[in-house]
């Protein structure tokens, strides 16, 4: 399944994030305000946060990862996983939901 926005395929990615010590909540809140980040999850394990990026194209994703994320104070390391295909009905259900 390919997700489209206004007739164009979207570029989605999962961004794995480590933060400076004691900065998880603050970084998560900052990330939630970044254009292109749709969701931020705090996690336990190897990474402190997981962010879901949804951008209109690869160039927008590249700008998000290389420029906008660099301005978020408290991020110590990231790893970006480009989504190849979506295997979820969540986006379709949300898109066609009547709000019930």
Do the Cβ atoms of 61 and 53 come closer than 8 Å? yes
Coil/strand/helix, residue 49: strand
- What pLDDT sits at residue 33? 96
Compute the distance between CA of residue 44 and CA of residue 37 in angstroms, rounded to an integer. 20
The token duo for 93 is 């259900």
* Alpha helices by DSSP H, the chain: 24-32, 58-63, 90-95
Q: Compare 8 and 20 and report the one with higher pLDDT.
A: 20
- What topology does CATH give the domain 4-95? Alpha-Beta Plaits (3.30.70)
| Domain residue ranges in the chain | 4-95
pLDDT at 29: 98
Percent of the chain with pLDDT over 90: 72
Mean per-residue pLDDT, 85-96: 66
Is pLDDT above 60 for 4? no
Q: What per-residue confidence (pLDDT) applies to 85?
A: 81
């Amino acid at each position: 399944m390919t997700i489209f926005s206004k007739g164009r395929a979207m570029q989605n990615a999962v961004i794995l994030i480590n933060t400076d010590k004691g900065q998880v909540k603050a970084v998560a809140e900052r990330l939630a305000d970044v254009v292109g980040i749709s969701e931020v999850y705090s996690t336990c394990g190897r990474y402190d946060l997981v962010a879901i990026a949804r951008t209109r194209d690869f160039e927008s994703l590249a700008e998000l990862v290389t420029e906008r994320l660099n301005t978020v104070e408290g991020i110590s390391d990231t790893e970006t996983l480009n989504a190849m295909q979506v295997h979820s009905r969540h986006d379709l259900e949300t898109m066609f939901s009547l709000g019930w």
